[in-house]
Structure 1
Amino acid sequence: MKKIILTVLVVMSSLAVQAQELKWETDINKAISVSNKTKKPMLLFFTGSDWCGWCIRLQKEVLKTPDFATWAKKNVVLVELDYPRSVPQSDAIKAQNAGLQQAFGIQGFPTVYFATAKQKNGKPSFTGIGSTGYVAGGPKAWLAEADKILKTK
């Protein structure tokens, strides 16, 4: 009987993890559209996913946790802006990400920027809310920092 209960618990928890899977947009125009429809700000994650140690650490310790997934679904539209060294990207994504890096003045990775945007004459016009990076202390500490930023909007 204990084995059956344990098996059921394992299956249920794996389903809960799958249900927590998040949608990270990579197309800024699509993200702006979703943000405007849902009335949620965007969380722009500037990352070097295949070379930046702090980016990988932020992903592992915060962005891939159930606490973050629950918070993100309620509060933000997720946007990943990646600057990989060995993972191929389309020229359009490279150009988009380079432009956004310049527009937001991103000088280091990881940087997480919270913003809203409207389309004006076919180009995005951003309103920044605030930014952060890696915050020690796991998901609770990072989410507390993110909540402080979002309360200023």
Structure 2
Amino acid sequence: MSFKKMMLALVFGSILTLSQTHAQEWQTNFEKAKTLAQKEKQHIVLVFQGSDWCTPCIKLDREIWSSPEFQELAKGHFVMLKADFPRKQKNKLPADQEAHNKALAAKYNPNGYFPFVVVLDASGKKLGETGYEKIPPKAYFNKLNAF
């Protein structure tokens, strides 16, 4: 392998590693999220969203969840759990995931608000709730952490 190819492989490998370490790991299974939260002694942030139709949901994702600042703050504090309710056929969830999300909504979001963010303890007890707010990622983290 030439020096140039080795350097390219090294650079691309480093970029891939960096992107993976900063990506927010979202859970989609409540039981798995509770197990992780109990193991790590963390709270669960349950996010009800309509990823392909709800403008405030998309803003919350872009401005808060996807921000490197929030991701760094949340690491070690929260297990992130997503309950998505897409409407477009191309984004349709598998039937079992759709049923799982509907069951979570029946328990934690009976009024059907979007986006709706619920902070839970590791056993699933509700500690607080909020929605979209146009505030910096650190302020949003502090709000969630205060519950």
* Shorter-normalised TM range: 0.7 to 0.9
Q: Across the two proteins, how many residue pairs are aligned to each other?
A: 133
Q: In the alignment, which residue of structure 1 is the partner of 2:112?
A: 107
Shift of 1:41: 1.1
After superposition, where does 1:43-62 map in structure 2 within 5 Å?
A: 43-62=45-64
Shift of 1:107: 2.3
Q: Compute the RMSD of aligned alpha carbons.
A: 2.1
Q: Give, as a single letter, the amino acid of the residue that structure 1 aligns with 2:127.
A: I
Normalised to the residue count of structure 1, the TM-score between the two structures is 0.78
Shift of 1:102: 0.9
Q: Counterparts of 2:16 and 2:140 in 1: how far apart (Å)? A: 25
Identity fraction in percent: 30
Shift of 1:72: 1.3
Q: Give, as a single letter, the amino acid of the residue that structure 2 aligns with 1:141.
A: A
Shift of 1:19: 2.1
Shift of 1:93: 0.8
Structure 1 portions without partners, runs of 5+: 1-10, 119-125
Of Structure 1 and Structure 2, the greater strand share is in 1
Shift of 1:135: 1.5
Q: Counterparts of 1:139 and 1:13 in 2: how far apart (Å)? A: 24
Q: In the alignment, which residue of structure 2 is the partner of 1:5?
A: none
SS in 1 for 2:113: coil
1:106–1:68 CA distance, 2 compared to 1 (3 A): farther
User: What are the superposed Cα offsets for residues 22-62 of structure 1, whole Å, 9 maximum, x if unpaired?
Assistant: 21001111111111111111100110001000000001111
Q: Counterparts of 2:142 and 2:55 in 1: how far apart (Å)? A: 23
Q: In the alignment, which residue of structure 1 is the partner of 2:39?
A: 37
SS in 2 for 1:107: coil
Q: Counterparts of 2:141 and 2:116 in 1: how far apart (Å)? A: 15
Normalised to the residue count of structure 2, the TM-score between the two structures is 0.81
Q: In the alignment, which residue of structure 1 is the partner of 2:143?
A: 145
Conservation of the 8 A alpha-carbon contact between 1:17 and 1:66: no
Q: Give, as a single letter, the amino acid of the residue that structure 2 aligns with 1:144.
A: N
1:91 has 2:95 as partner = yes
Q: Counterparts of 1:110 and 1:23 in 2: how far apart (Å)? A: 19
Q: Counterparts of 2:133 and 2:60 in 1: how far apart (Å)? A: 8
Q: Counterparts of 1:25 and 1:89 in 2: how far apart (Å)? A: 14
Structure 2 portions without partners, runs of 5+: 1-11
1:24–1:95 CA distance, 2 compared to 1 (3 A): same
